[in-house]
Structure 1
Amino acid sequence: MKKVLISIFLIGITLTLFGQTSVMLTPSSNISAYTFDGARSGVEKLKMNTYVLGQVGKPGLYVVPDDTDFLTLIALAGGPREDAKLSKIRIVRPSIDEGEKIVWVNLKQYLDTGDPELIPQLQPGDTVVVSGTIFYAFSRIADFLSKVTIALSVYNLVTGL
C-alpha cells in the first residue's frame, strides 16, 4: 500500500515538474494589428500588441503606441534581469510573406556606445525574447536535480521503513 501511495506521489510530482502546454499563435488576416486609443489624453494614438518573453522583470503582452521602440518596451517590462543575455536579444517579427523574421538586437553594445541606430522600432505582433546566460541554465539544471534528489530521498525514507 505504501509503495502505491509513493508511486502516485512521485507521478504527481513528475507531472507537475514536466507538465507543459503548447499553444500555436497564428496571425489571422481579418484581425487588425492596431487598436485606436481615442483622445483620452488629448493625443490620438494607434496601439499595437507586442509580447515580451524571457529574462525581464514582467514578461507578457504589452499594448503600446505604434511609435514605441525596443528600449521603451524593455523598460515597460521591468527591464532585463541580471541573468539576461543582453548581447543576443531576438525580436520575432511575423510576416505574411516570409512567415517569421528574426531581428537580432545587441543591447550590451547599445549600452556601451549609446548609438540610437542599434535600437529598432517595433511592429505589430513583435515578440521580444530575452534569453538567459549560461549561468541561468546551470541554475535551472541544479534546481531540477535538487528536486529529483529530494523526491528520491523521500521515496528511500518511506520504503526503508
Structure 2
Amino acid sequence: MKRLLLVFLLISFSLVLFSQQTINFTPSSNISAYTYEGIRSGVEKLKMNNYILGQVYKPGLYTVPDDTDFLTLLSLAGGPKEDAKLTKIRIVRPSSEGDKVIWVNFKKYLETGDPTLIPELKPGDTIIVSGTIFYAVSKVAKFLSDITIALGVYNIITGFK
C-alpha cells in the first residue's frame, strides 16, 4: 500500500512539475499587417499588428497606430519586468529577403534620453525582451528545489534513514 501511495504521489508531482501548455500559432499568408479603422476626428489612421514577447507584464499581439515607436509599445505591454535584459532587446522585422533582427539598447536610452535609440515600428514587427542570467539561474534553482521536495517526500514515505 505504501508503495502504491508513493508511486501515485511521484507521478502526480512529476505531472505538475513537468507540465507545460503548448500553444501553436501559424499565421495565415493572407493576414494583413495593417488594419483600417476609418476616419476619426478628420484624420485617417491605419493600425498595424505588432507582437511583444518575453519579460514584459502583458505580452501578446497589439494593434497600434502606424506611427507607433518601440517605447510606446513597451509601455502598452506594461513595461519590462525587473529580470528583463534591457541592453539587448530584439526586434524581428519580416521582409521579403527574410527576417531582419534589430537590436535595441533600452538601458542606454534610459541613461541618456537619446530619442534616436528608439526605433519606429513597422507592421508585423515582433519585440522580444529576454531575461537576464539571473532569471535563468532562478528557473534552474526552482527546478532543483522541486526535485529536492520530491526526494524529501519519497524519503518520508519510504522511511529512508
TM-score, length of structure 1 as denominator length: 0.86
Q: 1:84 to 1:95 in 2, by over 3 A?
A: same
Letter in 2 for 1:112: E
Matched, 1:90 2:90: yes
Structure 1 residue matching 2:101: 3-state secondary structure:
strand
- The offset of 1:40, in angstroms, is 4.7
- The alignment status of 1:81 with 2:81, answered yes or no, reads yes
| Counterpart residue number, 1:101 | 100
- What stretches of structure 1 move > 4 A for 4+ residues in a row? none
Residues 69 and 155 of structure 1, relative CA distance in 2, 3 Å threshold: same
1:38 lines up with 2:38 in the alignment: yes
The Cα shift of 1:53 comes to 1.1
In structure 1, give the amino acid aligned to 2:34. Y
Per-residue deviation, 1:140: 1.4
Partners of 1:49 and 1:3 in 2: CA distance:
54
What amino acid does structure 1 have at the position aligned with 2:148? T
Report the CA distance between 1:24 and its aligned residue: 5.3
User: 2:17 touches 2:146 (CA, 8 Å); kept in 1?
Assistant: no
Report deviation, 1:82: 1.5
CA deviations 1:46-95 (Å, max 9, x no partner) are 11111111111211111111111001111111111121111000111222
For 1:156 and 1:143, the matched residues in 2 are separated by: 20
Tell me the SS of whatever aligns to 1:45: strand
Local SS of the residue matching 2:38: coil
1:9, distance to aligned residue in structure 2 (A) = 3.3
Q: 1:158 to 1:72 in 2, by over 3 A?
A: same
Equivalent-residue separation in structure 2 for 1:117 and 1:139 (angstroms): 34
8 A Cα contact 2:92 2:126, kept in partner:
yes
Query: What residue in structure 2 maps to residue 23 of structure 1?
Result: 24
- Taking the aligned partners of 2:100 and 2:119, their CA distance within structure 1 comes to 14
In the alignment of these two chains, the number of paired residues is 159
State how far apart, in whole Å, the 1-side matches of 2:126 and 2:6 are: 42
Deviation of the 1:43 alpha carbon? 3.3
Query: What letter matches 2:58 in structure 1?
Result: K
RMSD value, Cα: 2.1
Counting aligned pairs with the same residue, the percent is: 69
- Code of the residue aligned with 2:24 in structure 1: it is V
User: How far apart are the structure 2 equivalents of 1:141 and 1:36?
Assistant: 45
Deviations, residues 121-161 of structure 1 (Å, cap 9, x unaligned):
11122111111111111211111111111122112212229
Letter in 1 for 2:60: G
**Under a length normalisation based on structure 2, what TM-score does the superposition of the two structures give?**
0.86
Q: Which amino acid aligns with 1:23?
A: N
Question: How big is the shift at 1:17?
Answer: 2.9
